[in-house]
Amino acid sequence: MTIYLDNHSTTRIDPRVLDAMMPWLTEDYGNAGSVTHELGRRAREAVDHARSQMALAIGAEPREVIFTSGATESINLAIIGSAMRPGRANGHLMVGTTDHQAVLDVADHLGRNGRQVTYVDVAPQGTACPGAIDPQMFSDLLQSDTFLVSLLLANNEIGVIHPTAVIANVVCKSGAIVHLDCSQAIGRMPVDVDALGADLASFSGHKFHGPKGVGALYVRRRSKAVRIEPLQYGGGQERGLRSGTLNVAAIVGMGAAAELAVQELAEEVPRVEALRNWLWEHLNNSIEGVSLNGPPLTNSSLRLINNLNVSVSGVDGGSLLATVEASGLAISSGSACASASPRPSHVLRAIGLNDDAARSSLRFGLSRFTTKEDCEKAVERIVDGIKKIRS
Residues 297 and 212 in one domain: no
Q: Are 118 and 108 in contact (CB under 8 A)?
A: no
Tell me what pLDDT residue 9 has: 98
Q: Are residues 189 and 277 in the same domain?
A: no
Whether 54 and 108 map to the same domain: the answer is yes
Last residue of a domain, one of 211, 227, 259: 259
For residue 12, what pLDDT is reported? 99
Shared-domain flag, residues 357 and 211: no
Q: Are 120 and 164 members of one domain?
A: yes
CA distances from 168 to 198, 215, 325 (A): 7, 23, 42
Do both 308 and 245 map to the same domain? no
Q: Where are the alpha helices (DSSP H) in 313-371?
A: 317-326, 346-350, 355-359
Half-sphere exposure of 111 (CA within 13 A, CB side): 13
The pLDDT value recorded for residue 343 is 83
Last residue of a domain, one of 259, 287, 320: 259
Report the catalytic residues: 337
The DSSP secondary structure of 362-384, one letter per residue, reads EEEE--TT--HHHHHHHHHHHHH
- Determine what percent of the chain is predicted with pLDDT higher than 70: 97
Residue 178 in contact with residue 169, Cβ under 8 Å? no
Instruction: List the Cα angle 164/168/169 in 5-degree steps.
Output: 120
211 and 251 fall within a common domain = yes
Same domain for 110 and 215? yes
> Are residues 250 and 276 both part of a single domain?
no
Residues of the chain with pLDDT under 50: none
Domain final residue pick, 259, 285, 306:
259
Are both 252 and 351 inside the same structural domain?
no
pLDDT at 333: 87
Domain span at 282: 3-10+264-390
Q: Which residues contact 60 (CB under 8 A, 6 or more apart)?
A: 54, 193, 218
> Residue 203 maps to which CATH number?
3.40.640.10
CA-closest candidate to residue 310, choices 272, 369, 353: 353
Are residues 254 and 269 located together in one domain of the fold? no
Distance from chain centroid for Cα 135: 21
- CATH code (residue 332): 3.90.1150.10
**How many independent structural domains does the chain possess?**
2
Q: Are residues 121 and 207 in the same domain?
A: yes
User: What phi, psi does 177 have (nearest 5°)?
Assistant: -105, 160
pLDDT for position 223: 64
